């Protein structure tokens, strides 16, 4: 079974590159619309044939480079095919947004050393990207798909579909699904297949973190060598403490899940933070190394317990009704900490909604995996 998630990455082009990317996006859009008209009239959806039909014109009239001309034909075919599979009548597909489909290792490449390289009107350019949350995609188990270069509100993003092979043998034995919503007020909230919500409390963690922060701040202001020494000492003490907490939490969670469980976590924040609003709550924690470490510990301990860990897209987990799936911002009353579904009327404390939705996503995932095998 294959698992695909979309990594959303912010890239940081310099002023010159920004201009070049925008020109490239514009040229690609015009080129796509030209090719789309040819497809609309000729109904040709064969890659080689369409490239033959349009290549020379794209090169000479639209000044597009060789590889880009081919990628445009591929992108247009994909759009027509997806329109057709959505049961749309044969109609002209228009390209309105500044987007550019990039084939991996041909139109773009991306390396763990912070460099994203892309084909433009002026040839290859190398652009730094935000690596946070991307690190684990370079562990050799993920495949990079055809990426989209997206221009939105003066900023540039890459949407890269990442695919990984998941062993499905483990999943046939699943006896419990545990949705785990990790936070700071509660170390974690879980929801399992017996419809039980469990709160792993961690009130003191927030306080302790606050204490460390205050001490650090006063030491930073002093600027003396001894203050800096103490700062370093406190920093490593705080890290050791955090690691300790992570060991305890991961152990408790995996034990609570039991053998043959599917543990469902939220995808790491760095991957989505580029384009989506994230929960401000506990942000320092969910973007930091500690959260990443906790997840690695859970994965490691789960494996030893015949359990599997998956991470799912956390979009809307706090706004979606876990009973009927209805998503609306107004479902949640933050002030009163109440979740009240506008469609089916389901009411609950809002702390458990995230875990319930992760549990639900785990069920959907399991159905998809076991029925496709
Ligand atoms: Zn509902």
Q: What is the pLDDT of residues 148-178, one digit of tens each?
A: 999 988 899 999 988 887 665 567 788 999 9
Give the H or E element holding residue 270.
helix 269-273
Give dist(CA 73, CA 151) in Å, integer: 21
Give residue 344 CA to ligand 1 midpoint distance, Å. Answer: 4
pLDDT at 273: 40
Q: What is the pLDDT of residues 286-298, one digit of tens each?
A: 556 777 788 889 9
How far is residue 250's CA from residue 34's CA, in Å, rounded to a whole number? 55
Cα-to-centroid distance, 371 and ligand 1 (Å)? 26
Q: How far is the CA of 292 from the centre of ligand 1 (A)?
A: 32
Q: How many domains does the chain have?
A: 2
Per-residue pLDDT tens digits for 85-118 = 776 778 899 999 888 999 999 899 998 888 999 9
In a domain, 215, yes or no: no
Structural domain boundaries enclosing 331? 171-202+247-372
Residues 314 and 360 sit within 8 Å (Cβ to Cβ): no
Ligand 1 mean position, distance from CA 323 (Å): 5
Cα of 342 from ligand 1 centre, angstroms: 7
Which residue in the block uniquely carries the two structure tokens 């909230």? 189
Q: How far is the CA of 81 from the centre of ligand 1 (A)?
A: 34
Is 268 inside a domain boundary? Answer: yes
Which of 149, 165, 181 is where one domain is finished? 165
User: Both tokens of residue 88?
Assistant: 């749309």
Average pLDDT over residues 299-309: 88
Residue 219 within a domain: no
- DSSP lists the bridge partners of residue 311 as 265
Specify whether 149 is located in the same domain as 176. no
- State both tokens at 94: 């228009």
Distance from the CA of 320 to the center of ligand 1, in angstroms?
Answer: 8
Distance 264 CA to ligand 1 centre (A): 21
| pLDDT at residue 185, as a whole number | 63
Within-domain flag for 16: yes
pLDDT at 367 (0 to 100): 81
Asked if residues 322 and 357 have their Cβ atoms less than 8 Å apart, the reply is yes
Cα 345 to ligand 1 centroid, rounded to whole Å: 6
Instruction: Convert the pLDDT of each residue in 120-149 to its tens digit.
Output: 999 999 999 987 778 778 888 889 999 999
Question: Is there a single domain that holds both residue 6 and residue 79?
Answer: yes
Distance from residue 266's CA to the centre of ligand 1 (Å): 21
Q: Residue 323 region, left (φ>0) first, then alpha (ψ -120 to 50), else beta?
A: alpha
pLDDT band at 203 (very low <50, low <70, confident <90, very high): low
If 0-12 CB within 10 Å is exposed, 13-18 middle and 19+ buried, where does residue 216 land? Answer: middle
CATH number, domain of 258, equals 3.30.420
| pLDDT higher than threshold 70 for residue 11 | yes
Q: Are residues 101 and 133 in the same domain?
A: yes
Q: What is the pLDDT of residues 255-266, one digit of tens each?
A: 999 999 999 998
Domain-ending residue, one of 114, 138, 165: 165
Q: How far is CA 93 from the centre of its chain?
A: 28
Indicate if 159 and 177 belong to the same structural domain. no
Single out the residue in 142, 165, 188 at which a domain terminates. Answer: 165
The pLDDT, as a whole number, for residue 73 is 93
| Mean pLDDT (whole number) for 213-227 | 85
Are the C-beta atoms of 199 and 178 separated by less than 8 Å? no
Strand boundaries in 48-153, DSSP class E: 99-102, 108-110, 115-120, 123-128, 142-144, 147-152
Query: Which pLDDT belongs to residue 348?
Result: 92
Ligand 1 midpoint to CA 347 (Å): 9
Using the mean position of ligand 1's atoms as its centre, give its distance from the Cα of residue 52 in Å.
Answer: 52
Q: Vertex 247, ends 246 and 251: CA angle to 5°? A: 110
343 Cα–ligand 1 center, Å: 5
The whole-angstrom separation of Cα 363 and Cα 333 is: 26
Whether residues 62 and 183 fall in one domain: no
Reply yes or no on whether the pLDDT at 200 is more than 60: yes
pLDDT, one tens digit per residue, over 323-335 is: 888 888 899 988 8
- 194 and 121, same structural domain? no
Is the same domain home to 42 and 96? yes
Residue 223 lies in a domain: no
Q: Are 312 and 369 in contact (CB under 8 A)?
A: no
Residues 158 and 177 grouped into a single domain: no
Q: Give domain status of residue 238, yes or no.
A: no
User: Domain check: are 179 and 328 in the same one?
Assistant: yes
Distance 328 CA to ligand 1 centre (A): 10
- Express as a percent the part of the chain with pLDDT over 70: 89
- pLDDT above 70 (res 274): no
Q: Please tell me the predicted confidence (pLDDT) of residue 286.
A: 52
- pLDDT of residue 355 exceeding 80, the answer is yes
**Residues near 57 by Cβ (< 8 Å), separated by ≥ 6?**
34
Q: How confident is the model at residue 276 (pLDDT cuts 50, 70, 90)?
A: very low
**Residues of 80-110 as b/e, b for ≥16 C-beta within 10 angstroms?**
beeeeeeeeeeeebebeebbbbbbeeebbbb
Q: CA torsion 199→200→205→207, rounded to 10°?
A: 30
Across 240-253, average pLDDT = 90
Cα–chain-centroid distance for residue 69? Answer: 30
Instruction: Calculate mean pLDDT across residues 279-290.
Output: 56
76 within 8 A of 93, measured Cβ to Cβ: yes
Whether 150 is covered by a domain: the verdict is yes
Are residue 41 and residue 59 in the same domain, yes or no? yes
Mark whether 90 and 180 lie in a shared domain.
no
Q: Considering the chain, what percentage of its residues have pLDDT values greater than 90?
A: 42
What are the pLDDT digits (tens) for 20-48?
A: 999 999 999 999 999 999 999 999 999 99
Clarify whether residues 135 and 193 are in a common domain: no
Whether 210 is in a domain gets the answer: no
Q: Residue 296 and residue 304: Cα distance in Å, rounded?
A: 13
The alpha carbon of 354 and the centre of ligand 1 are apart by a number of angstroms equal to 14
Unique residue bearing structure tokens 């041909």? 106
pLDDT of residue 372: 57
> Quick one: tokens of 363?
């069920």
- The pLDDT score that the predictor gives to residue 147 is 94
Average pLDDT for the chain: 85
The mean pLDDT value for 237-254 works out to 89
């Amino acid at each position: 079974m294959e698992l695909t998630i979309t990594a959303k990455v912010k890239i940081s082009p310099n002023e010159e590159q920004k201009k070049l990317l925008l020109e490239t996006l514009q040229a690609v859009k015009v080129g796509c619309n030209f090719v789309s008209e040819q497809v609309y009239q000729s109904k040709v959806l064969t890659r080689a044939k369409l490239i033959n039909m349009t290549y020379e014109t794209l090169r000479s009239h639209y000044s597009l480079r060789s590889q880009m001309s081919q990628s445009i034909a591929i992108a247009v075919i994909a759009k027509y095919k997806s329109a057709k599979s959505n049961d749309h009548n044969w109609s002209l597909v228009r390209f309105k947004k500044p987007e550019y489909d990039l084939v991996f290792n041909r139109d773009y490449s991306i390396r763990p050393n912070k460099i994203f390289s892309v084909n433009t009107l002026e040839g290859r350019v190398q652009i730094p990207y935000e690596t946070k949350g991307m690190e684990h995609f370079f562990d050799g188990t993920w495949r990079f798909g055809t990426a989209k270069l997206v221009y939105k509100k003066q900023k540039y993003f890459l949407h890269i579909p990442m695919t990984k092979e998941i062993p499905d043998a483990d999943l046939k034995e699943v006896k419990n699904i545990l949705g785990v919503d990790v936070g700071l007020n509660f170390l974690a909230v879980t929801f399992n297949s017996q419809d039980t919500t469990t709160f792993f409390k961690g009130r003191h963690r927030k306080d302790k973190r606050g204490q460390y922060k205050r001490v650090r701040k006063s030491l930073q202001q002093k600027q003396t060598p001894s203050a800096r020494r103490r700062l370093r000492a406190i920093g490593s003490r705080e890290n050791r403490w955090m690691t300790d907490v992570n060991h305890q939490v991961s152990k408790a969670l995996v034990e609570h899940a039991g053998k043959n469980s599917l543990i469902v976590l939220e995808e790491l924040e760095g991957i989505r933070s580029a384009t989506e609003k994230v929960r401000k709550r506990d942000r320092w924690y969910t973007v930091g190394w500690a959260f990443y470490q906790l997840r690695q510990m859970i994965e490691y301990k789960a494996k030893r317990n015949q359990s599997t860990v998956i991470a799912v897209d956390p979009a809307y987990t706090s706004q979606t009704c876990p009973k009927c799936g209805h998503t609306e911002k107004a479902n949640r009353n933050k002030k009163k900490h109440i979740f009240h579904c506008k469609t089916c009327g389901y009411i609950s404390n809002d702390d458990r909604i995230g875990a319930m939705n992760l549990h639900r996503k785990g069920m959907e995932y399991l159905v998809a995996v076991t029925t496709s095998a």
